[in-house]
Amino acid sequence: MPKGLSKEEYLTGQLSILRNPIIANIFFRLGLIEQFSTGIQRILAAYADSKTQPQFSIFENSIKIVLPVVKMELQGISEDANEVYSILQSAPLSSSHISQLVKIRF
């Protein structure tokens, strides 16, 4: 954690302290990040309606964030594609293994 930043301030996004402003500025100029210090707020907003919430473990020298996998309802896809999506939620598989499970041809 950056010095002077409490756990509550970190989780609510009330205060922004860049740990490495030089690297952050380079990432911003390269288009790799959009804004400074909005990540936690965006994570919390993305999980606002989810039953499972991200877990934050904040230590003196590090922060660990566990983002749960949320099953999404995909709109406008076929029943077969939805079945494949459901199967792939547990583990990546080969197309031949998937076709055996859902009985469709690729």
Q: What is the pLDDT of residues 60-105, one digit of tens each?
A: 777 788 888 776 666 777 877 777 777 777 777 777 787 778 766 5
Domain assignment present for residue 2? The answer is no
Residue-level pLDDT at 73: 66
**For the whole model, what pTM was predicted?**
0.48
Are 57 and 14 in a shared domain? Answer: yes
Are 56 and 75 in a shared domain? Answer: no
Domain assignment present for residue 77? The answer is yes
Residue-level pLDDT at 106: 52
Length of the chain: 106
| Average pLDDT, integer, range 27-52 | 80
> Over pLDDT 90: what percentage of the chain?
0
Domain assignment present for residue 50? The answer is yes
**Number of structural domains the chain divides into:** 2
Q: State the DSSP H helix or E strand holding residue 65, giving kind and residue range, or none if neither.
A: strand 63-66
| Average pLDDT, integer, range 37-50 | 82
**Containing domain of residue 77, as a range?**
71-106
